[in-house]
Amino acid sequence: MQIHYQETTKDLLARIDIHEKYGARNIDQWTTETLRPRPDMKILDVGCGAGKQCFLYSDYSQRKADITGGDFSNELLDKARAQNAERNDNCRFMFLDFNKRFEFADNTFDLVSSAFAIYYASNLDFTFGEAHRVLKPGGRLFVTGPLPENKKMFYDIIKEATNKPIPPMPGSSRFKGEIYKTIEDKFSKTELLTFENPLTFPEVAPFIDYVRASLSEDRKLWTSMFNNHDEYEALIGEIEKVATRWFKRDGKLAMTKVVGGILATK
Ligand SMILES: C[S@@+](CC[C@H](N)C(=O)[O-])C[C@H]1O[C@@H](n2cnc3c(N)ncnc32)[C@H](O)[C@@H]1O
């Protein structure tokens, strides 16, 4: 399956910022408590974006773990490298397309992780085969992604505003099923962990910022809902009307991020 989707630096960073500002819980803490990255580990983060998870592991391991982030967006890699320099850190960032062979020898890493990224792979069997190959025996894979119950309020508001079906989300529609199954078939031990983060928006405006960073024209995920910029703006206007109605009714806009973490051992 070919997924025509692309992340943009601006939209990704806007969403991360909103999760941090309005969320009650911290996904980074959950991630490090689950993985406890140690100073002696060799780690690969696939679809690293601007380096969020790499820097998290680096801090947790007192800058001692050997960390590589791979992504196919040169723009995001540049961002990650700039931040690495600013932090005076020693993470490595390299071009990696997870639909192609990973340029590493067999049995290289203690941990391969991928946060909200690898489930876009066109051939799950191939990509998770690569993750398995580059892991050392006993090494762990950790893949996070949205579960079907994720952000229900967000989708309900969009449904009410548009009367159109929500396009199938490459993450949540496959995470618990196809992706879990692919990993389970390859690894010796696999489990599904969950993390819930309630986000409360005290006004409509930051919710609309979140909608724009999710539905953004540039991400090409939602193009079944609009054909051009004017239609896009009209759609956002409709969503804002519904959100404002819900806000008046409930006094807030509350949406829960429901994240799955597949943890597997080679
Ligand atoms: C939602 S972002 C998550 C980024 C980062 N892990 C984070 O949590 O901030 C998804 C990432 O997957 C990357 N990506 C999408 N398709 C890819 C591919 N075929 N190979 C490598 N990276 C890819 C995007 O460029 C983007 O950085």
Q: What distance in angstroms lies between residue 10's CA and the mean position of ligand 1's atoms?
A: 13
73 lines ligand 1 (CB under 6 A): yes
Q: How confident is the model at residue 224 (pLDDT cuts 50, 70, 90)?
A: confident
39 assigned to some structural domain = yes
- Quick one: what percent of the chain has pLDDT higher than 70? 95
> What pLDDT was estimated at residue 160?
94
Q: Which one-letter DSSP state was computed for residue 23?
A: B
| pTM flag (> 0.75) | yes
- From atom 27 of ligand 1, which residue's Cα is the shortest distance away? 49
> What pLDDT was estimated at residue 6?
65
242 assigned to some structural domain = yes
Higher pLDDT: 62 or 8? It is 62
Please state, rounded to an integer, the average pLDDT across all residues of the chain. 92
1 assigned to some structural domain = no
> What pLDDT was estimated at residue 221?
73
257 assigned to some structural domain = yes
pLDDT tens-digit map of 94-147: 999 999 999 999 999 999 999 999 988 999 999 999 999 999 999 999 999 988
116 lines ligand 1 (CB under 6 A): yes
Q: Which two tokens stand for residue 83?
A: 């931040």
> What pLDDT was estimated at residue 36?
98
52 lines ligand 1 (CB under 6 A): yes
Q: For residues 142 and 34, what is the distance between their CA atoms, to the nearest angstrom?
A: 9
190 assigned to some structural domain = yes
- From atom 14 of ligand 1, which residue's Cα is the shortest distance away? 47
Residue 154 structural domain: 9-265
> Quick one: average pLDDT of 162-184?
84
- From atom 20 of ligand 1, which residue's Cα is the shortest distance away? 97
Residue 16: give its domain's CATH number. 3.40.50.150
pLDDT tens-digit map of 18-72: 999 999 999 999 999 999 999 999 999 999 999 999 999 999 999 999 999 999 9
Q: How confident is the model at residue 171 (pLDDT cuts 50, 70, 90)?
A: low
> What pLDDT was estimated at residue 199?
95
9 lines ligand 1 (CB under 6 A): no
> What pLDDT was estimated at residue 61?
98
Higher pLDDT: 195 or 216? It is 195
> What pLDDT was estimated at residue 3?
47
199 lines ligand 1 (CB under 6 A): no
> Quick one: average pLDDT of 162-170?
80
2 assigned to some structural domain = no
3 assigned to some structural domain = no
Lowest mean pLDDT among 10-14, 122-126, 136-140, 252-256: 10-14
210 lines ligand 1 (CB under 6 A): no
> Quick one: average pLDDT of 241-265?
95
Structurally, the chain folds into a number of domains equal to 1
The contacts found for 78-85 with CB under 8 angstroms, 24 or more apart, are 79/9, 79/50, 79/51, 80/48, 80/49, 80/50, 80/51, 80/54, 83/50, 83/51, 83/55, 84/51, 84/55
Q: For residues 6 and 72, what is the distance between their CA atoms, to the nearest angstrom?
A: 10
4 assigned to some structural domain = no
pLDDT tens-digit map of 67-95: 999 999 999 999 999 999 999 999 999 99
pLDDT above 50: residue 2? no
Q: Are 119 and 253 in contact (CB under 8 A)?
A: no
8 lines ligand 1 (CB under 6 A): no
Q: Which two tokens stand for residue 236?
A: 């956002």
96 lines ligand 1 (CB under 6 A): yes
Q: How confident is the model at residue 1 (pLDDT cuts 50, 70, 90)?
A: very low
Q: How confident is the model at residue 5 (pLDDT cuts 50, 70, 90)?
A: low
